[in-house]
Amino acid sequence: MYVSLNGASSRSFDAGGANYIGVKMKGLPWHPSLCFRICLLLVLLFCSSPARAQNAEDRRPSQAPQAVQTSAPRTDIKTQNQPGNPDLSSDTNTDPNYVLGSEDVLQIDVFNLPELSKLVLRVAADGLISLPLIGRVQAAGLTTEQFREELAEKWGENYLQDPQVTVFVKEFKAKPVSVIGAVEKPDLYPLTGHRTLIEMLSMAGGFGKKLTSPAGRTVVITRKSGFKDLQPVEGMHILGPDQIEIDLNRLLYTRDEALNIEIRPGDIISVTKADVVYVTGAVKRPGGFVLEDRPNMTVLQAIAMAEGFTGTAAKGSARILRTNQDGSKTDVPVNLGKILKGKAQDATLAANDILFVPDSKRKIASSRAVDASIATISGWLVWAR
């Protein structure tokens, strides 16, 4: 059996340019279905090869632009972050009106001049700073903008032509303000510009948490130079020539700008801690309870915070133990039974007062007798079985 390809019977295809091939089957009987399958297979072989070549050529140019597009943005990013770019060399966080002082750490840059760039220097105690070519220059007492203009003028006189100078304060050390007491982050904070009392409290993280160091009702500001020009207003108390006390409730919840005073270098801001009253003795939860923003607390309020009495409390024999300002002790009797019945006025507890509720001896004895009786009866019942 063999298959012959007759060239005379072939004809050209209009679409792909392939030749039509006549197939004869010799030695076998005529089978139309087999002949059709062989012709279809040959047509597919001729048509698929050019299509693969065309697809390969189409893929090559489409991949090249992608490589170019991914590399282009990297060049732009590097250009934007170049340290020599004058548009980005100035510091946007430094107040140009900040007045320099001793111990401040400065970074000085002259654009396009590496020898005078990245100079990190500290202002000396006498307010001067040493710089190349121009020597010692006065820095303390000048704003950052004034100092920048001074350096540009001195360098431009004999050494540089139109120098582009920038001054950046790396560390603020000259004008610290102390924030202490019942705040979240007590520390020394630099005074980088005009700051008010509320702004400084915010820098310290606000008031302390209730479970750790809750804030009291006042804040005390101490100033060495005194408050000679300050006019007292409601909510402000003059404690001395160099110390004032401000009510926190009025400061925070009113719009009185006179209470939100401007803070100056060297001020000490002390937030007082909340006062505490103590309840002990025959109560369910003895302990200290914070007054928070209240100046005092009633006895019934303190008992409620202590979750009430125990079963052996002597309500008529309670006492308030109070320490006076001169250090003397005062013992104030309180009849809690009459207060609960409305027959006596509710007493007031001041800061650091101790409310003591004793146990009743009669109730203790009765309780012990009941416990002993229960134990005896239980033992007799067990023995009787």
Query: Rounded to the nearest 10 degrees, how much is the dihedral formed by the CA atoms of 360, 365, 366, 371?
Result: 130
Instruction: Let me know the angle formed at the C-alpha of 305 by 302 and 307, rounded to the nearest 5 degrees.
Output: 115
**Structural tokens at position 12:** 């050209």
Enter the DSSP assignment of 255.
-
Among 189-193, 220-224, 240-244, the least confident range: 189-193
Percent of the chain with pLDDT over 70: 71
**For residue 28, what pLDDT is reported?**
43
- Give the number of other Cβ atoms within 10 Å of residue 162's Cβ: 7
Q: How far apart are CA 190 and CA 349, in angstroms?
A: 41
For the chain, give me the number of helices (H) and strands (E)? 8, 22
3-state secondary structure of 106: strand
Q: How far apart are CA 31 and CA 99, in angstroms?
A: 106
The predicted model scores a pTM of: 0.58
Residue 16 clears pLDDT 50, i.e. is over it: no
Q: What is the CA radius of gyration of the chain?
A: 46
Percent of the chain with pLDDT over 90: 46
3-state secondary structure of 165: strand
Options 1.10.12.10, 3.10.560.10, 3.30.479.30, 3.40.50.1820; CATH for 176-272 is 3.10.560.10
Q: Domain 276-360 is of which CATH architecture?
A: Roll (3.10)
Which single residue is written with the structure tokens 């697809």? Answer: 55
Runs of H (alpha helix) within the chain: 32-80, 86-89, 144-158, 197-203, 248-253, 299-305, 336-341, 361-384
Given pLDDT bands bounded at 50, 70 and 90, which one contains residue 384?
A: low
Given pLDDT bands bounded at 50, 70 and 90, which one contains residue 173?
A: confident
Distance of CA 304 to the CA centre of its chain: 36
Q: Which amino acid is at 306?
A: A
Residues β-bridged to residue 313: 359
**For residue 338, what pLDDT is reported?**
93
> Domain 88-171 is in which class?
alpha beta
**For residue 368, what pLDDT is reported?**
66
**pLDDT tens-digit readout, 275-309:** 999 999 999 999 999 887 788 899 999 999 999 99
Q: Would you list the domain boundaries of the chain? A: 2-57, 88-171, 176-272, 276-360
Domains 88-171 and 276-360 share a fold: no
What contacts 24+ positions apart, CB below 8 Å, involve 152-157? 155/110, 155/116
Q: Which amino acid is at 256?
A: D
Q: Which amino acid is at 97?
A: N
Q: Are 206 and 183 in contact (CB under 8 A)?
A: yes
Q: What is the mean pLDDT of residues 104-126?
A: 92
3-state secondary structure of 240: strand
Q: How far apart are CA 374 and CA 385, in angstroms?
A: 17
**212 vs 159, higher pLDDT:** 159
Q: How far apart are CA 165 and CA 86, in angstroms?
A: 10
Residue 222 clears pLDDT 70, i.e. is over it: yes
Residues 194, 197, 199, 203, CA torsion sign: positive
**For residue 211, what pLDDT is reported?**
62
**pLDDT tens-digit readout, 330-353:** 999 999 999 999 999 999 999 899
DSSP string, 37-73: HHHHHHHHHHHHHHHHHHHHHHHHHHHHHHHHHHHHH
Given pLDDT bands bounded at 50, 70 and 90, which one contains residue 40?
A: low
Which single residue is written with the structure tokens 């490589």? Answer: 67
3-state secondary structure of 373: helix
- Strand (E) positions, 164-292? 165-171, 176-181, 187-190, 195-196, 215-222, 236-240, 243-247, 262-263, 268-273, 276-281, 287-290
